[in-house]
Structure 1
Amino acid sequence: MLTVQDLDVWFGHAPDRVDAVKGAEFRVAQGESFGLVGESGSGKSTILRAIAGLIPSWSGQIKVDGKPLATDRRDRAFFKTVQMVFQDPYASLHPRHSVDAVLAETLRLQGMDRIDQRIAQLLDDVGLGRGFRFRYPHQLSGGQRQRVAIARALAAEPRLLLLDEPTSALDVSVQAEILNLLADLRSEHGLTYLMVSHDLSVVGHMCDRLAVMQHGRIVEVMEVDDLRAGRGQQNYTRQLIAASAGYSAPA
């Protein structure tokens, strides 16, 4: 479903150019959930944004469903296949647009018919119900806003979702609800996920495989079972797993 080969992403121009991603390579199979992990600044979200067309300064090759992407634009066919869910659900929703307006606009842009029925179905799919249809973002909790953002992404009936830290801005009590919702949606709709997270427990719960990033490079691609067992091949991976296990006081 997704192939990334020899991907370089940079910001600015020489001599001030910053190379954010260097030579990244991985593949994500149809129906798979693949994670990108690493510390802040390692290039995880930059890869997602390059795929989504939000960063034009990249080289290498990105293929979605076998079709190479151009560096400078994304057409309607791309957005019918690929959608992105951002980290901050409040910032990604227009504060003056109701839930109905947000979903109706997306459906119309995708050329969908039966707008009313589709909005009702989308709200049901993300566990909100139709009573939320005419509410505004400020009338929703963080978890409810993220459910609307997920519904908006699903409106195009995509096959690949790019998930950029989709629960990190939410209260801990709500995070599990959103992760379980995403897992259910993946199963029900046959979706493929590329998920960025700094939380290894989230990736361990959601993903089948993952790539570990450090300083813009992928240092290791591993099965999630190896992550859960702490079996990292690279020293950095083992350090990351140990750090995620938390602080243990000396005896």
Structure 2
Amino acid sequence: MKMLEVQDLNVWFGSHRDRVDAVKHATFDVAQGESFGLVGESGSGKSTILRAITGLAPDWSGNIMVEGQVIGHKRPKSFFKTVQMVFQDPYASLHPRHSVDQVLGETLHLHGFKDIDARVVRLLDDVGLGQKFRFRYPHQLSGGQRQRVAIARALAPEPDLLLLDEPTSALDVSVQAEILNLLADLRTEHNLTYVMVSHDLSVVGHMCDRLAVMKDGEIVEVLDVDVLRHMNAEHPYSRQLLEASL
């Protein structure tokens, strides 16, 4: 079964003379349980695709389907029980005056869960933090700990699809591997599907089954990760990216 289908997606910002076409005719699909990567240099449109899927980029055309359901420009509440996103900067994505307990508790409340206390504890255990972090505030946490809270918040509605927007790029190198390993474990434990944006091919090679290479808002090639590892890309730009990564 296909978890996500994106067909002929165009995303733009502004209008008339000020219009910027950020994504042009993007088409790809992601199977249930798969981890799919979007790679390319800064400004290639990777994160914009995730924002269009979640409704954060309102100006788009084409077709987006999640679990076979066509997604319109207005997302129903049920959409966010299926699809959640983890952002690049864990500090900016957490309210500075809300404790970890408030961040997770409010998310659970919004999605109609009743046994909130028990679920908060379980979420903290899931992301390797534990109860001692429950009443801390973002400024009392390290970057890696903040990103673990952001991942716990995304897991709270029990989604099937997680959109990961460079989830480790704002973290110290020593912490990046811990977060990537956590995400890999969570994918297995919760049978999650991932779409991961990254400019780091080694991260995509570690985390993803397939990937799409983007350049100037367009997908130029979709590859199996084995092709990436063996440096066998066909498109000249994909080969250029691979050579640069060495």
Amino acid at match of 2:29: R
The unaligned stretches of length 5 or more in structure 1 are: 246-251
Distance 1:96 1:166 in 2: 22
Distance 2:114 2:35 in 1: 30
Deviations 1:142-183 (A, max 9, x none): 000000000000000000000000000000000000000000
Distance 1:238 1:64 in 2: 31
Deviations 1:188-214 (A, max 9, x none): 000000000000000000000000000
Q: Which residue of 2 aligns with 1:231?
A: 232
Indicate the SS of the match to 1:41. coil
TM-score normalized by the length of structure 2:
0.99
RMSD between aligned alpha carbons? 0.4
Q: 1:56 aligns with which of 31, 35, 58?
A: 58
- Counting only pairs closer than 5 Å after superposition, residues 125-144 of structure 1 correspond to structure 2 as 125-144=126-145
Q: Which residue of 2 aligns with 1:249?
A: none
Distance 2:45 2:143 in 1: 26
Q: Percent identity?
A: 76
Q: Which residue of 2 aligns with 1:114?
A: 115
Distance 2:117 2:54 in 1: 28
Q: Which residue of 1 aligns with 2:178?
A: 177
- Counting only pairs closer than 5 Å after superposition, residues 63-142 of structure 1 correspond to structure 2 as 63-71=65-73, 73-142=74-143
Give the Å deviation of 1:16: 1.6
Indicate the SS of the match to 1:230. coil
Q: Which residue of 1 aligns with 2:165?
A: 164
Indicate the SS of the match to 1:167. coil
Amino acid at match of 1:75: P
Give the Å deviation of 1:97: 0.2
- Counting only pairs closer than 5 Å after superposition, residues 200-219 of structure 1 correspond to structure 2 as 200-219=201-220
Indicate the SS of the match to 1:122. helix
Distance 2:58 2:68 in 1: 20
Give the Å deviation of 1:113: 1.2
Give the Å deviation of 1:15: 1.6
Amino acid at match of 1:8: N
Indicate the SS of the match to 1:70. coil
Amino acid at match of 1:31: G
Distance 2:132 2:217 in 1: 44
Indicate the SS of the match to 2:196. strand
Give the Å deviation of 1:42: 0.3
Poorly superposed stretches of 4+, deviation over 2 Å: none
The unaligned stretches of length 5 or more in structure 2 are: none
Amino acid at match of 1:153: A
Q: Which residue of 2 aligns with 1:37?
A: 39
Distance 1:239 1:193 in 2: 26
Q: Which residue of 1 aligns with 2:24?
A: 22
Indicate the SS of the match to 1:76. coil
Give the Å deviation of 1:110: 0.3
Give the Å deviation of 1:74: 1.2
Distance 2:113 2:222 in 1: 38
Distance 1:85 1:34 in 2: 15
Indicate the SS of the match to 1:161. strand
Amino acid at match of 2:218: R
Aligned length: 244
Q: Which residue of 1 aligns with 2:187?
A: 186
Deviations 1:115-154 (A, max 9, x none): 0000000000000000000000000000000000000000
Indicate the SS of the match to 1:173. helix
